[in-house]
Structure 1
Amino acid sequence: MKKIFLFIFLFPLFAFAQKMTVLKGTIKNKNKQPIEGVSIKYNNTGTITDKNGRYSIKIPFKKEITLVFRHISYRTVSKKFTAKSRNGVRFSITLASKTEELNEIVIKDNSKNAQGVIKIDTKKIKNVIGANAGVENILMTLPGVNNNNELSTQYNVRGGNFDENLVYVNGIEVYRPFLVRSGQQEGFSFINPHMVQNINFSAGGFQAKYGDKLSSVLDITYRKPKEVGTMIDLSFLGGSATFESPFFDKKLSTITSFRYRDNSLFVNSKQIETNFKPIFADFQTFLQYDASDYLSFKFFGNFSLNDYNYQPLSRRTRFGTVADPLELIVFYSGEEKDKFLTLTGAFSTEYEVNDFLTLTGTVSRYNTQEEEHFDIAATYNLGEVDSNIGSENFGEVEFSQGIGSQLNHARNDLDALYTNAQIRANYKIDDIQIDFGVKYQKEDVRDRIREWEIIDSVGFSIRPPNHAIKNNQPYEPFEGEIVPFQNIRQDNSVQINRISGFAQFSEKLFWSSNEIWYNIGVRSQYWTVSKNGLSSEGQFTFSPRAQFAIKPNWFKDMLFRASGGWYSQPPSYRELRNFNGEINLNLKAQKSIHLVVGMDYSFKMWGRPFKFVLEAYHKDLKNVNSYTLENVRIRYRADNNTTAYANGIDLRLNGEFIPGSDSWISLGYLKTEENIDKRGNISRPSDQRIKLGILFQDYVPTIPNLKAYLNLVYNTGVPGGSPSYADVYQFQDRLRDYKRADLGLSYVFTDANKRYESGWLSKFKELTFGLELFNMFDIQNSITNTWVRDAYSKRQFGIPNFMTGRVLNFKIGMKL
């Protein structure tokens, strides 16, 4: 508290401080012992190290100086240095005695590790193999991050669902379309991997400066170009073109990209025969203008169009057991036409008041216009397959258990407009940092739902299970009206106003010779909801959070950390809407208590660097808004009548298993259950118990430009869901385990390490040809169940919906 008052009273002095920054570090010998009395000097300014080998010296900002490190027993070292960070710089070296050679090392800032944030190398984005290659594809190799749908970029983190993850691009929160119900409708991720500079990911226990969600944060920064360049990628799945360049003596810079994708290669490998004509395209641009060294303006824009035309023709699926095999044959008529148009625009201004204080103001607007129109009739036959090996009819359907049809109709339209304005401040002096901000957001959603389903079996229509009139067909005639099995008709005009803010304080210090970092903060939000002229009472959340990390002064490089707090997730529009499309104006925020403890251990094995990361976590949730999941469509109960918990442990080992190639192995265990209406605990839809992910990179020693990339994922099965109107407590069977292996081969003709001065290759800065083999073992993975009813036995069969089979793709990457 004293430090906060000190900041308030001394702020006028800081505003006129010179443009200086702090350089600090530790100086040791080859035995990792600190060296006392080392002189560090430039011009007429200098200092010496203390008994722990530590030093601190102020140096000019953005000005080249020559630092001289001198000690009577060690070799003198001169180092040219330009401080590019106003927030302080850390530089440490190992001095050699006068009879040894100098071994210089630079100690990188450990603050990200201390915060429990994973910083992902952007170079891996191009190398990771997957049906949806990009940032999310890397996340799915991490422990605690799960997804059984290779056509989707959405993911679950530590027992949460898709709607519980925060995604930022240059400080702008990213939103997804509302009505998407199938991964094959998504096209590609909002995040353009060709524009990315930094990737930071936290799987829980994150700081107060991030928003109000329960599970994770993905923080993306797009890069500021330093030179003119054009990147072009082409493959059987689509292509992209990215242009970047600085202008006006590097005061203005722009990076712009266009992408196109066609998922028909994957969809045609599935068991459903279709006519599929999708158009997935987007355009993104990021501009930055530096008016001075202290003032800059930034603009980010995005236009995305997903035009999804889908006409199923037939389907044949065999399932069951070896002793009791079943086969489902379906013939379709009709088609589905969906369109998802999204636009995002954001303008921000960043002003460095002085060396310590930076202010950032941002205004942005997001608009999504969505149409979901389909009429699909399906006629099915569910039959028993002859499993007698000696039979003449072995493998053929010998008896039909269920014959029927169903008709699905939808004319759903949604238009949502999100507008927000925020201001943030960052104050840093030495090892103390204070962040605070406030944000206002208005959400205007217009939603029209027209959706019904008719189920027919042997000539009579099946009525809804909750219908009051009894139907004894075919044994007794029925004279009542025919009604759909399910029917939703709603018109919602919803406005949500939110005011949120945060403040947090962090500091790095030493306790004895141990380095300590801690962060304490609080976040709150106030919001109101109105629908068709009716308004709710305002609601308020209060979310305190804290993080602590210690790096002991041990011979072994280890870091220990703990984080936690009270997290809240005020409801979005999709959470406010229940199964029947009705809006609960007074729905409360879901709440969760997080506790995360972990450690990082960096070491050398086989003479190469490795890191082992371990984290254990527990979440206690209340006011939970339980949901059902079908493919990627989430439908909420909107009643807060559920409690839940999640706990688990994540392990990751990464390093150079092959010299010069970074790979990793991750393993996670998760258990998450919920208690709906106090009926007892059952598994949540995201209860993925075991997760194993391997990302492996290799090359041919005699041909180092020929590289191989292998992505292996194994997930145990999740609950398979339940039919409409069914009691979820009676449907707890799990889907089969998810197993997938993707292999990529590439040959690098030229890159930064191998340039040509003449010939046709001299025109390229980079040129790579590659082959990708998706699902190389052609494993049938299921994402959800299609429920088929046998009208006579009243049984409902869960027929697995299998994902994509083996697919071969060819791609070319070039940079001009």
Structure 2
Amino acid sequence: MKKLLLLLLFPFLTQAQIKIRGKITDTKGEALAFANVSLLDTYDGATSAEDGTFSFETTEKGSFKLQASIIGYHTLVKAIELGASDIAVDFALKETINQLNAVVVSAGVFEASDSKRMVMLKPLDIVTTAGGNADITSVMQLLPGSSRVGEQEGLFVRGGSAQETKTVIDGMIVQNPFFSSTPDVPQRGRFEPFMFKGTAFSTGGYSAQYGQALSSVLLLSTQDQLGTNTSTTASLNLAGAGVSHTHKGWITGSVYYTNIAPLLALVKNRFDFETVPQGIGTSLTINKNLQRNSTFKLYGTWSDNTSAMNLPSYDPQEGTYRFANRNKNLFTNASYKYVFKDETWVMNSGLSYSNNRDNLDIRDYNADRTDERTQARVVFTKLFGDSNANSFNFGGESHYISVGNRYNEYNFGFNDSYSALFAETEMYFTPKLAVRPGLRYEYTSVLGESNLAPRLSLAYKAGQFSQFSFAGGRFYQNPEKEYLYTNRNLTFEQADHLILNYQVIKNKRTFRTEAFYKKYDRLVKEETGSFDPDPYRFPTGKTSNTGNGYARGFDVFFRDEKAIKNGDLWITYSFLDTRRDFKNYPKQLMPSFAARHNMSLVTKKFFTEIGTNVGVTYSFASGRPVYAPADDFSTREMTKPYQTVSIMASKIKQTRNSFLVFYFLVDNLLGRDNIFGYRYSPDGSERYAVKSPMKTSVFFGMSWTFGKLNGRSKEADLNF
């Protein structure tokens, strides 16, 4: 909730004085609707209407660059001079490939900020979504294909566990994308939405460039250099305070302090804290255009957090047990992009390092969780064909991973050298058909094995605004580390995906439906003799790769950005039929983290005249299966359905060189007592319900940004 919330109301930051108007057409003079027009290095811009016309107002003066862009056409930039009078600027955009601008290979993906795909979610979408709490993963749980699991962090996609989804920043896997786990208490993600240009959430059938994820990947691409402005932001809310400073648009440093004591004092909760969660942290971001054809990005963050609480226990003498943690986390990610002179070859490279340490005190026993990852990656892209519309990508990556877990006298750990090579090409065979085949090779030293994973996607343009897409392939993943601690003879777990997609995008409305089938094989199976439903148990039985399962169903997504003036509406629904025989399950069962039906309704309204944004979200999930110790599984108990209503509102107060943002959020407004599952006594005779830490949560705060918010320097114009 730091600096990102001060950007909630970008649409309200202009006070009109000069009008810029014009028309967007193609080279044949045909009007282009919904093209983006922006005044570079400012927050000002517009979208063209159905007849191609656009207009917007700005307070800027001087020399600027006006940019027009739309998917399927080359971006065009024109120099303009802003004075005291209105100006008119027309654009004629050249198609990147003849009549193929609507054909995209995207089955299984909700994408954003990818120039070859339709934009679905932007950072502003994330921070203005009620119930998402400005957290990337929480908002992804409102999209079709994802289940709302309220007792632990992570993305649970189409019947897959949280371990089956990987988070990737600029092509690099993030080892610890969430704050450290506490039993039955979900944790936020570590990264702010406005760090990224957009979010690509794959629900399956993803690119051969990525691996080690049986279900999905969450792809995040960091921002490019944003102008030349210098500004400072200070924030204060119920969970802490922070300050951030950006110098000349390319380097940003921040420091923050967190302490949820004010929140706990205001909101009734189920916590029994000995030490209220608190911590300090700092980050550094560099986005630098080194020269016209190369860019360098660096993101680094360090945090130190501590907490201690008493959790429920069936120990007859105590009734609770102590769980304390001091977490130290370091993450750095650097990337370098170089475009060769002929602009048909592009190199993207990256290097990252992460180090996470949990010093635990569990029932007065000292314990530690440690993990470390170093990785390097390089990808070359060759553009060819008509207007360079076709592409060929190839590259490789290398990882060194070290993990460990110590509890009392037990000490487990291993090192793994993991490497991969991949190649993928996207080709347009006809004006209506695009195909993307790919192949990925992986080797991991901890298993001493390699694999070869084929991938295939294709798209067919059914009409001017619609298309069919298909995706399929094989995906591998190492077994969870708890199994590898005790058995190094295991092999890769495996999933095969088949996905069929249909979508229509027209007149600021998107309709998308997708059917899928996922077959699991070689899942880790544990022989224990009796079933134990405790999700935090350590494996004790003999393990092998004899598990299997399936997931099948369909998703529906509808988004309307036109019906509500200055508003937005999403409706999502997912149907899931899944069973799997894995871990210590006695047979194929519906996993305890899966729900058959998931639905969300998201609405937003921007009141530009008074600088206010309001959002409401309703979420529903059908009951999840409940399994008890020594269960005979002849009948299946289900939790009651999950339902919640959330609201958010924000208000902005702007002056010439500063603005204040006040925000207010309420989660589970109606106070429904949602139950996510049960924890049992060892003999199964007693149990308690796992619920949200707060029945109804309230959160509010403010941010103040001051400095040069808009405009540009003469030096910026000279370096453009």
Please say whether Structure 1 and Structure 2 have the same fold, judged by a TM-score greater than 0.5. yes
Correspondence for 2:323 among 333, 336, 344 = 336
Map of 1:599 onto structure 2:
502
Alignment match, 1:286: 285
**Distance in 2 between the 1:777 and 1:185 partners?**
21
Offset from partner CA, 1:292-334 (integer Å, 9 cap, x none): 222333322121333122246x899xxxxxxxxxxx9997566
Residues 198/658 of structure 1: CA separation in 2 closer, same or farther (3 Å cut): same
Q: Distance in 2 between matches of 1:65 and 1:509?
A: 37
Q: 2:581: which partner in 1?
A: 675
Question: Which residue of structure 2 lines up, in the alignment, with residue 696 of structure 1?
Answer: 603
Secondary structure at the aligned position of 1:175 is classed as: coil
Q: Distance in 2 between matches of 1:260 and 1:690?
A: 39
After TM superposition, the structure 1 = structure 2 runs for residues 104-253 of structure 1, keeping only pairs within 5 Å, are 111=104, 113=106, 116-119=109-112, 120-130=121-131, 132-149=133-150, 152-176=152-176, 180-182=181-183, 184=185, 186=187, 188-223=188-223, 224-226=225-227, 227-246=229-248, 253=250
Separation in structure 2 between the aligned mates of residue 178 and residue 31 of structure 1, nearest angstrom? 45
Contact 1:180 1:632 in 2 (8 A): no
What is aligned with 2:43? Answer: none
Question: Which structure has the greater CA radius of gyration?
Answer: 1
Local SS of the residue matching 1:709: strand
Q: Match of 1:419? A: 374
Contact 1:128 1:137 in 2 (8 A): no
The amino acid across from 1:156 in the alignment is: F
2:375–2:400 contact (8 Å) kept in structure 1: yes
User: What does residue 646 of structure 2 align with?
Assistant: 742
Is 2:426 aligned against 1:506? Answer: yes
Q: CA deviation at 1:781?
A: 1.3
Which of 244, 249, 255 aligns to 2:252? It is 255
Question: SS of the residue aligned with 1:143?
Answer: coil
TM-score, structure 2 as length reference = 0.76
C-alpha spacing 1:547/1:780, structure 2 compared with 1 (3 Å): same
- CA apart distance, 1:31: 13
Residue 228 of structure 1: CA displacement? 2.2
1:180 alignment partner AA:
S
- TM-score by structure 1 length? 0.68
Residue aligning to 1:623: 522
1:675 & 1:447 partners in 2: Cα distance? 26
Question: CA–CA distance in 1 between the matches of 2:632 and 2:580?
Answer: 11
Once the two structures are TM-superposed, the CA of residue 178 in structure 1 deviates from its matched residue by 10
Aligned to 2:457: 547
SS of residue matched to 1:111 = coil
| Contact 1:181/1:633, CA 8 A, preserved across alignment | no
Residue 472 (structure 1) aligns with:
none
Deviation string, structure 1 residues 362-412 (Cα, Å, up to 9, x no partner): 22221111122122xxxxxxxxxxxxxxxxxxxxxxxxxxxxxxxxx5422
| Cα pair 2:434 2:460 within 8 Å, conserved | yes
1:684 alignment partner, SS class:
coil
Of structures 1 and 2, the one with the larger relative CO (CA 8 A, separation 6+) is 2
Distance verdict in 2 for CA 1:331–1:644, change over 3 Å = same
1:784 paired residue among 655, 667, 677:
677
Please say if residues 178 and 574 of structure 1, whose CA atoms lie closer than 8 Å, have aligned partners that are also in contact. Answer: no
Q: Is the 8 A contact 1:721 1:728 kept in 2?
A: no
Unaligned runs of 5+ in 1: 1-22, 33-55, 67-76, 93-106, 248-252, 317-327, 376-408, 451-488, 530-535, 578-582, 751-760
- Contact 2:532 / 2:628 at 8 angstroms: preserved in 1? no
Secondary structure in 2 matching 1:214: coil
3-state SS of paired residue (1:597): strand
| Pair 1:437 & 2:395 matched | yes
Q: Which amino acid aligns with 2:472?
A: G
Tell me how far apart the structure 2 counterparts of residues 518 and 266 of structure 1 sit (CA, whole Å). Answer: 54
Post-superposition CA distance 1:68-96 (Å, at most 9, x none):
xxxxxxxxx9845799xxxx85799xxxx
2:687 corresponds, among 777, 798, 815, to 798
Assess if the C-alpha contact under 8 Å between 1:137 and 1:153 holds in 2: no
Identity of aligned residues (%): 17
**1:807 aligns to what?**
697
**What's the counterpart of residue 711 of structure 1?**
617
Q: In 2, distance between residues paired with 1:178 and 1:490?
A: 25
In structure 2, the partner of 1:762 is: 656
Aligned-residue offset at 1:675: 2.9
1:428 — aligned with what?
A: 383
Residue 342 of structure 1: SS of its match in structure 2? strand
Structure 1 residue 811, shift from structure 2 partner: 1.9
C-alpha spacing 1:727/1:333, structure 2 compared with 1 (3 Å): closer
* Paired residue type of 2:352: S
Aligned AA (1:654): R
2:335 maps to 348
Partner SS, residue 811 of structure 1: strand
Indicate how the Cα distance of structure 1 residues 201 and 363 shifts in structure 2: closer, same or farther if over 3 A, else same. same
**1:432–1:505 Cα contact (<8 Å) kept:** yes
Paired with 1:90 and 1:245, the residues of 2 have a C-alpha distance of 39
Give the 3-state SS of the residue equivalent to 1:194 in structure 2.
helix
Corresponding pairs, count: 612
Cα separation, 1, equivalents of 2:331 and 2:192: 14
Pair 1:521-2:410 in alignment? no
CA distance in 1: counterparts of 2:281 and 2:572, whole angstroms: 33
Following TM superposition, by how much is the alpha carbon of 1:259 offset from its aligned partner in structure 2, in angstroms?
Answer: 4.3
Residue in structure 2 matched with residue 564 of structure 1 by the alignment:
472
1:653 aligns with 2:558: yes
Any gaps of 5 or more consecutive residues in structure 2? 1-23, 34-71, 81-87, 113-120, 707-720
What CA distance in whole angstroms lies between the structure 1 residues aligned with 2:649 and 2:317? 38
Which AA in structure 2 matches 1:255? T
Cα RMSD between the aligned structures? 3.7
Contact 2:132 2:139 in 1 (8 A): no
> Which residue of structure 2 aligns with residue 448 of structure 1?
406
1:626 is displaced (CA, Å) by 5.4
* Equivalent-residue separation in structure 1 for 2:92 and 2:511 (angstroms): 32
Deviation at 1:175, TM superposition (A): 1.5
Tell me how far apart the structure 2 counterparts of residues 715 and 230 of structure 1 sit (CA, whole Å). Answer: 42
